[in-house]
Amino acid sequence: MKITVLGTGYLGATHAASMAEMGFEVLGVDVDPAKVDALSRGELPFHEPGLGELLRKHVDTGRLRFTTSYEEAGAFGDVHFVGVGTPQRAGSFAADMRYVDAAVGSIAAAATKDCVIAGKSTVPVGSARRLADLARASARDGVDVSLVWNPEFLREGYAVEDTLTPDRMVLGAEDAAAEAVMRRVYARQLEAGVPLIVTDFETAELVKVAANAFLATKISFINALSELTEAVGGDIRTLADAIGLDERIGRKFLNAGVGFGGGCLPKDIRALRARAAELGVEQSVRFLAEVDDINVRRRGHTVDTVTQMLGGSVVGKQVAVLGAAFKPDSDDVRDSPALDIAARLHSIGAEVAVYDPKANANAAKRYPRLDYVDSLEAAATGAEVVVLLTEWAEFKAMTPEQLHPLVAVPQILDGRNVLDPERWAAAGFCYRALGRRA
Ligand code: UGA
């Protein structure tokens, strides 16, 4: 069985390399020739632990190739995974389906043998049924093209692990033959005991957005509570530990701080609201507007706290910003709280030095006017406040003794609640955190 993966962005590149690792011959397809050239040389255009090695390994074994040609893909693949983007539409919260529609229409028209199209992109509920019709209508005479929906749950930073050994797999399949093909594709995971939930198209699409909406809600819940603990002088980490011990709640995704960002959670909750409104059930997920508001409020609150620490004005003050990526182990700055906060501080007059172990280059493309430096020490030198915004291991491991000789004023704002307040205070730092007693 031969596999194609349409779209070689974050999701597609990971899926393609992982499928090659599972033993399949894989053809990655992208409309961007520069991306195809880079990947064909074994160069990954973004940072993801372990993925570069996997890519190079299978470019070398010959199991993994890349092309811009849908014709080639249509002749090659028995299963075509669709992993193109569904960005937020300009001027709206809804998802832009242009790339998915084009990919499905093109591959169905190019297929010269019976095949399954497996959608992985995050789409508004109702899309799969429409795309199944589109695929059938676009197929050549005598070629059977069947569509399934197979959402992806990988996390950046753990993309390979999540693809090869997921918690669960979900398959929207309404045709027994296509389901059987997908069971063969995922035989390795099924043998390892990974649960496979087979369902209708709509449920499969909704599982994906429901999971992300739940995670976003969990984060905003703890961040809302952190506004309260700050107001009364409590400790949000202790609170999270305590409620998290209840197995029904669980401790994961209860880390309070500057809030969530990235290419998925913010966009997906907005798209779900837009879709619910189209379906006439806007009220069903109205709470997600509040989840979004709480999240965005974190950024303004962080800027206000820095301002307060600097005596009421940031103008001309040296601020060291640690982190630009939306989360550690990633160079992704899409909707990154860290970078947004850095830009807001700069826009109100602070002298901002940003250091991120991997995301400086992407951040500089987004906000060229900030000062990007190459080390933690360079950022801290002369700083009147150090602001930790992305919890990279390097920042979690830094010590007050390391920073004290460098900074102009020993003050630190722990935007992710990852440092030990007592240790920093004992070393002479004014330590502040989001959701802990000042
Ligand atoms: C998220 C989901 O976790 C994946 O399951 C999903 O497949 C993916 O979106 C997607 O739809 O493609 P990802 O965006 O890589 O994955 O990042 P997360 O680990 O979910 O983190 C999202 C944001 O929440 C980050 O900014 C992170 O810093 C923040 N976060 C996370 C918190 O602020 N607190 C927490 O306790 C956890």
Kindly report the CA angle at 175 between 16 and 84, in degrees rounded to 5?
A: 30
Give the tens place of pLDDT for each residue, 188-214.
999 999 999 999 999 999 999 999 999
Whether 264 is catalytic? yes
366 assigned binding-site residue: no
Mean pLDDT of 76-82: 98
pLDDT given for residue 438 in this prediction: 66
Q: From ligand 1's centre to the CA of 99, what distance in Å?
A: 23
> How far is the C-alpha of 373 from the C-alpha of 364, rounded, in Å?
11
Q: From ligand 1's centre to the CA of 154, what distance in Å?
A: 9
Ligand 1: nearest atom to the Cα of 391: 28
| Backbone phi and psi for residue 318, each to the nearest 5 degrees, phi listed first | -85, 120
Ligand 1: nearest atom to the Cα of 258: 33
Q: Mean pLDDT over all residues of the chain?
A: 97
> How far is the C-alpha of 285 from the C-alpha of 270, rounded, in Å?
10
257 assigned binding-site residue: yes
- Decide whether any atom of ligand 1 lies within 6 Å of the 260 Cβ: yes
Question: 414 - beta bridge partners?
Answer: 388, 433
The residues spanned by each domain of the chain are 2-199, 214-433
How far is residue 59 CA from its own chain's centroid? Answer: 26
156 assigned binding-site residue: yes
The closest residue, in CA terms, to atom 3 on ligand 1 is: 155
Specify the fold of 2-199: Rossmann fold (3.40.50)
How far is residue 284 CA from its own chain's centroid? Answer: 25
- Decide whether any atom of ligand 1 lies within 6 Å of the 434 Cβ: no
pLDDT given for residue 437 in this prediction: 76
Q: From ligand 1's centre to the CA of 155, what distance in Å?
A: 7
Contacts of 375 (CB under 8 A, 6+ apart): 355
Q: Active-site residue among 54, 264, 341, 352?
A: 264
272 assigned binding-site residue: no
Q: From ligand 1's centre to the CA of 156, what distance in Å?
A: 8
- Decide whether any atom of ligand 1 lies within 6 Å of the 344 Cβ: no
Residue 75, amino acid? A
> How far is the C-alpha of 243 from the C-alpha of 411, rounded, in Å?
30
Kindly report the CA angle at 366 between 361 and 369, in degrees rounded to 5?
A: 90
- Decide whether any atom of ligand 1 lies within 6 Å of the 153 Cβ: yes
Mean pLDDT of 267-287: 97
Asked: is 214-433 a CATH 3.40.50.720 domain? The reply is: yes
Of 71-75, 89-93, 216-220, 406-410, the least confident: 89-93
**Residue 333 in this model has a pLDDT that exceeds 80:** yes
- Decide whether any atom of ligand 1 lies within 6 Å of the 392 Cβ: no
The proportion of the chain whose per-residue pLDDT surpasses 90, expressed as a percent, equals 97
The answer to whether the beta carbons of residues 116 and 182 sit under 8 Å apart is: yes
Same fold, 2-199 and 214-433: yes
- The DSSP secondary structure of 116-128, one letter per residue, reads EEEE-S---TTHH
Mean pLDDT of 36-53: 96
- Decide whether any atom of ligand 1 lies within 6 Å of the 265 Cβ: yes
- Decide whether any atom of ligand 1 lies within 6 Å of the 223 Cβ: no
